[in-house]
Amino acid sequence: ARALDSGALTSGDLVAHARRRVDVDALTSNAFTRDDKDASTTASTGRQSMWHRAVRDARASDARRRASDGGDAGASASGGGELASALDGVPFAVKENLCVAGVETTCGSAMLRGHVPVYDATAVRLLRDRSGAVLIGTTNMDEFGMGSSGTTSTRGATLNPTSSDGARTAGGSSAGSAAAVANGSAFFALGSDTGGSVRLPAAYCGVVGLKPTYGRVSRFGLIAYCSSLDTVGVLARTVGDAAVVLAAMQGEDELDATSVERCADVDAFARDVVSGRMDAFDDAPLRGVRVGIPEEYAVRELTQEAYDVWDDTARVMQSLGATIVPTRMPHTARALACYYVLAPAEASSNLARYDAARYGDVTHAVSREAYLSQEYQSAVTSARSAGFGDEVRRRVLVGTFALSSQRAAEYFIRAQKVRRLVAQDFTDAFTTQGVDVLLTPSAIGTAPKIADVAATRPERAYATDVMTTPASLAGVPAMSVPIRRSRTSGLPLGVQLIAPRFRESTLLRVGYAIEQRAARGYSTTTTTTTTTTT
């Protein structure tokens, strides 16, 4: 963005560059959705016109910048103006479950093949129409957000661009968005986070992944997986970028009854970032901040290097002025099971609409004639069997079971109670124990190999979400910040920060401080560290 401000680069340059990266991506990460070469339906997916618009938007953005340069000659404009123009002309990508008018949006599912929404998701609209950001593509994802490895899409797996030793997962479900930011195709990307779908791929791909408080960003246009947990999140290269993007899309939306009014503190922090006020050196930026370390996150599956990063970061935060507070969150261990009852239950409800009658093209499996010649119930059964992948079918079945009148008390209702207990843990930590922000690992380890994921049983695969699901259940904001590469595999490792509801500004300021420190390397402070074994 600063390069755009100085005139060193134009948005047109960036978009042309992004276009080349996206073309290369087909051969490398498979982060972006693309049209089938052989399909005759290419014209209707809207990707060509999306590129035409990207080029037009970039030119318009360049024209705006030239005009304002002539106007006030680079003088510092008002804070609002700075923030408003920070994203002008910046290329970004959007996860394929956020509706983009005129562009095929399938959620990685055969069930929605050929589905072209007629409206933009509110988050997308705000970025494009109000902030001037340029949409360069939609990104691959686990089918309907159900997956933690980016492998359940009908478009094939997204590969981790940071891997140098064969095919590794990019994490999921916002796999393509994380990979697109990591490989430099997009400056930032939108994802969605239901149980960790932004934070986990961010950790695996070494980018910043921000999940805001439930309600902070409108869900209108986000194709629902688990409505009471779904949030629109940001994948970005830096904490500052994430803040600017969040500021651009936050706020109450009359189209989403669960959205809340915008937070001035987030805007203030984003302005500080854009104006360069955050660049001023502060040797103890975390003075007075109480950082909670919940010991329940030290699970058996946590790898040594993930533990070390967590431990080192706590020490670094202490050196930056923070107070470290050991914190008890007794219901953490229950969160994963709770999530895997609630999310499938809501998913079974949200996915009930996919009957292939009004949208979605399942003709690859069931011809229209065959579909229409059956009774409704059997037509829907055949279409859903063909349209949903294994993981989606598994979760819809689990969810339907958990909601059945015979089992609801045992599963769904009980899971709701557990959810309240998990949320209560966070309330206790933030109020009774006086913690400002919690520090945990982002993931139990580095990105696994795709071959290993394929061989893992589902319930084992679900364990990768153990670090991220508690914050989702509590609806609190959380962010994964990349810290360093593994010394053995070279893969990224990160930590997760969790703040009280609607305190994204705390999350961002603390995350910014850690990020700045991590950029200089922890080595000076960590030489004396003796690793404790668990």
Partner 1 sequence: SMIVSHRRAIYICHSMLAHRCVRARVTHVYAARALSSSSAYETVVGVEIHTRLATRSKLFSGAPSTYGAPPNTAVAAFDAAHPGTLPVLNATAVALAIKLALALESQVQSRSSFDRKHYFYADLPHGYQITQQREPISLGGRVRIGYDDAESGARYVGIERVQIEMDTGKSSRATDVGGSSGVSGTNATRVDLNRAGQALVEIVSAPDMRSGEDASAMVEAMQRMLRYLNVSDANMEEGSLRCDVNVSVCTSEDAKLGKFGERVEIKNLNSLRSIVRAVKYEAKRHVEVLSAGGTVERQTRTFDTNTGKTVVLRSKESLLDYRFTPEPDLPPLVLTTADVEAISNRMPELPAAAFERLTKTLGVSASAATTILAFPTSLKYFDVAMENCGEAKGVDVANFIANEIVGAARKDGGATFKDPLSRVPRAASAMRVGQLLSRVAHGDISGRMAKKVLEALMNSDERSLSEIIYDVCGGGQMSSDGGADNSLREICTAVVSEMTQEVKLFRSGKTKLMGALVGEVMKRTNGRANPKEASALLTECIDAVDN
Q: Which residues bind partner 1 (CB under 8 A)?
A: 98-99, 105, 107, 112, 115, 117-119, 121, 219-224, 226-228, 254-258, 345-346, 348-349, 351-353, 355, 357-359, 368-369, 372-373, 376-377, 380, 400, 403-406, 408, 412
CA separation for the pair 274, 185 (Å, rounded)? 22
Q: Residue 406 Cβ, how far from partner 1 at the closest point, in Å?
A: 8
CB nearer to partner 1: pick between 198 and 380: 380
Q: Residue 356 Cβ, how far from partner 1 at the closest point, in Å?
A: 12
Neighbours of 304 (CB within 10 A): 12
Total number of residues shown for the chain: 534
Name residue 403's amino acid: L
Q: Residue 377 Cβ, how far from partner 1 at the closest point, in Å?
A: 6
Q: Residue 405 Cβ, how far from partner 1 at the closest point, in Å?
A: 5
Q: Residue 382 Cβ, how far from partner 1 at the closest point, in Å?
A: 13
Residue 377 structure tokens: 């119930």
CB nearer to partner 1: pick between 15 and 226: 226
To which residue do tokens 């239950």 refer? Answer: 345
Task: Identify which of 437, 436, 441, 438 has the alpha carbon closest to the alpha carbon of residue 495.
Answer: 441
Name residue 471's amino acid: A
CB nearer to partner 1: pick between 383 and 499: 383
Question: Residue 107 contacts by C-beta under 8 Å, 6 or more apart in sequence?
Answer: 96, 97, 141, 143, 144, 145, 223
Residue 121: left (phi > 0), alpha (psi -120 to 50), or beta? beta
CB nearer to partner 1: pick between 20 and 368: 368
To which residue do tokens 């153990």 refer? Answer: 466
CB nearer to partner 1: pick between 22 and 127: 127
CA separation for the pair 134, 253 (Å, rounded)? 22
Residues 513 and 506 sit within 8 Å (Cβ to Cβ): no
CA separation for the pair 429, 292 (Å, rounded)? 8
CB nearer to partner 1: pick between 48 and 404: 404
Task: Identify which of 87, 73, 97 has the alpha carbon closest to the alpha carbon of residue 4.
Answer: 87
Give me the numbers of helices (H) and strands (E) for the chain, helices first please.
Answer: 20, 10
CB nearer to partner 1: pick between 51 and 119: 119
Q: Residue 254 Cβ, how far from partner 1 at the closest point, in Å?
A: 7
Residue 150: left (phi > 0), alpha (psi -120 to 50), or beta? left
Q: Residue 417 Cβ, how far from partner 1 at the closest point, in Å?
A: 13
CB nearer to partner 1: pick between 224 and 453: 224
Residue 62 structure tokens: 């360049």
CB nearer to partner 1: pick between 381 and 534: 381
Q: Residue 257 Cβ, how far from partner 1 at the closest point, in Å?
A: 5
Residues 115 and 387 sit within 8 Å (Cβ to Cβ): no
Q: Residue 256 Cβ, how far from partner 1 at the closest point, in Å?
A: 5
85: cis peptide before it, omega within 30°?
Answer: no
Strand segments (E) across 295-452:
323-327, 437-441
Task: Identify which of 287, 296, 340, 349 has the alpha carbon closest to the alpha carbon of residue 317.
Answer: 287
Task: Identify which of 370, 514, 385, 454 has the alpha carbon closest to the alpha carbon of residue 156.
Answer: 454
How many whole angstroms from its chain centre is CA 428? 27
CB nearer to partner 1: pick between 86 and 217: 217
Task: Identify which of 388, 401, 472, 416 has the alpha carbon closest to the alpha carbon of residue 192.
Answer: 472
Q: Residue 311 Cβ, how far from partner 1 at the closest point, in Å?
A: 37
Residue 332: left (phi > 0), alpha (psi -120 to 50), or beta? alpha
Residues 205 and 442 sit within 8 Å (Cβ to Cβ): no
Q: What are the catalytic residues?
A: 95, 173, 197
The three state secondary structure string of 225-272 is CCCCCCEEEEEECCHHHHHHHHHHHECCECCECCCCCCCHHHHHHHHH
